[in-house]
A = this chain, B = another copy of it.
């Protein structure tokens, strides 16, 4: 329904605004020569585009800036993805070094990402869905405390302090750990809780003197949710963006960044693939002035983590999207190889 010329115009206006952060006027646009029409014509078209809701003015005699609808159209229809060969291979290079666990790799990728874009990178997870128990170890520290160490097949290590039941003795503890390892190695972490109640209860009853106590003890290890970790990187890069000249925006931005649970909410239920949320499209009030681009990392239909970039609505969508796409693909492949290798 938009004419060829309107499309071109919309594209050029948004590109220009993304580049300069200044409202775009007809005169300047005409002078640039990208559009073979006079300023007056451009003005007319601009008025139409505004009527259609793609552009808006800050005040009656300012240039036009893209509306959220405008950005949305731009993202959905006007961007031809550019592939960023330059950065291809970053992840696999990290993997090849062989000294990082998966979580570290995700984190490092995000740092690179925020460096490359000067927006803020936020990473969720990777969650332990689908990762399997490789080994459980319980190391007693004193008579009352021990540390439980859980290693997964992805090289991830979780640990947690636990208090030991009074009655348990060293040999029982050893037996317990052996049973667990025999029975539970290879089981996806998520399913541990179920199995724990069904199969384990029986077995433990048979082998252990102090069944009751041991059970309670294990609960502390397996039945608490392991915390989801959020990494944020590059917040100070973003302060250079002119939209942050407003001190209140800075305040509310950092207040959000400090609330881990809000960030988790932001990234938690992302759908597969790249998803772009512009301004008020997002339900979280605090980022109504921002755009958020998320890409969920998946392994066999399971979401195991999310990489996201948070920036001003005036974001370099073209660059960011292709970058994130590339990175995401690479991560997925890497992930696939990884699991295949470790199984």
Contacts from A to B (Cβ < 8 Å): 98-101, 134-135, 137, 139, 141-142, 144-145, 147, 149, 151, 153-155, 157, 159-163, 220, 234-236, 239-240, 244-245, 247, 250-251, 254-255, 257-258, 341-342
Contact = CB atoms under 8 A, between A and B. Distances in A.
A107 to B, nearest CB: 13
Contacts of A155: 141, 145, 147, 161
Given A147-B155, A235-B258, 11 more contacts: A98-B162, A99-B160, A99-B161, A134-B139, A134-B141, A135-B139, A139-B151, A141-B342, A157-B159, A236-B254, A239-B254
Contacts of A162: 98-99
A136 to B, nearest CB: 10
A255 B245 CA distance: 15
Contacts of A159: 101, 151, 157
* 10 residue pairs, one from A and one from B, having the closest CB atoms: A98-B163, A157-B159, A236-B254, A236-B258, A139-B151, A236-B255, A147-B155, A239-B251, A142-B341, A135-B139
Contacts of A257: 236
A245 B250 CA distance: 10
A236 B252 CA distance: 9
A240 B254 CA distance: 11
Contact of A151 (B149, B245, B341): B149
A290 B109 CA distance: 33
Nearest to A235: B254
Contacts of A157: 147, 149, 157, 159
Contacts of A135: 137, 139
Given A251-B236, A257-B236, A141 B153 contact: yes
A24 to B, nearest CB: 25
A217 to B, nearest CB: 12
Nearest to A164: B98
A342 B250 contact: no
Contacts of A247: 244-245, 247, 250
Contacts of A255: 236, 239
A154 B147 CA distance: 9
Contacts of A147: 101, 151, 155, 157
Contacts of A236: 251, 254-255, 257-258
A161 B250 contact: no
